[in-house]
């Protein structure tokens, strides 16, 4: 799991990760390929993101805590993030 968190940080620095409400607000062709939701995120947040991901046919994974996700990208608190690159999403899944 530490490799996966480190990889998220690397992707963030490379501009391949969207955080917050920006995950689904971009143009249609740039929607995320994978969304990661923190396990301790609120139920309202989880439902909202899952419904949007279902609408856009985006895979969702629930893993890590809010603090783990936030520390991987150098932020204070992150409930969810999206990986925007298809090959990066596949590489992330291989690190699990």
pLDDT in tens, 33-82: 999 999 999 999 999 999 989 998 999 999 999 999 999 999 999 999 99
List the domain boundaries for the chain: 2-94
Looking at residue 28, its pLDDT comes to 55
Looking at residue 20, its pLDDT comes to 80
Looking at residue 27, its pLDDT comes to 53
DSSP-derived letter for residue 22 is: G
Distance CA 43, CA 10 (A): 28
Residue predicted with more confidence, 21 or 48 = 48
Distance CA 13, CA 73 (A): 8
Looking at residue 42, its pLDDT comes to 94
Does the pLDDT value for residue 29 go beyond 70?
Answer: no
CB 73 within 8 A of CB 28: no
From the options 3.30.1330.30, 3.40.50.11540, 3.30.1360.170, 3.40.50.720, give the CATH code of 2-94.
3.30.1330.30
């Amino acid at each position: 799991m530490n490799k996966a968190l480190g990889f998220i940080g690397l992707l963030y620095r490379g501009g391949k990760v969207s955080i917050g409400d920006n995950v689904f607000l971009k143009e249609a062709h740039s929607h995320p390929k994978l969304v990661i939701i923190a396990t301790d995120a609120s139920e309202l947040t989880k439902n909202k993101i899952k419904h949007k991901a279902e609408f856009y046919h985006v895979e969702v994974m629930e893993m890590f805590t809010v603090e783990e996700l936030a520390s991987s990208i150098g932020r204070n608190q992150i409930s969810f993030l999206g990986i925007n690159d298809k090959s990066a999403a596949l590489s992330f899944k291989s690190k699990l």
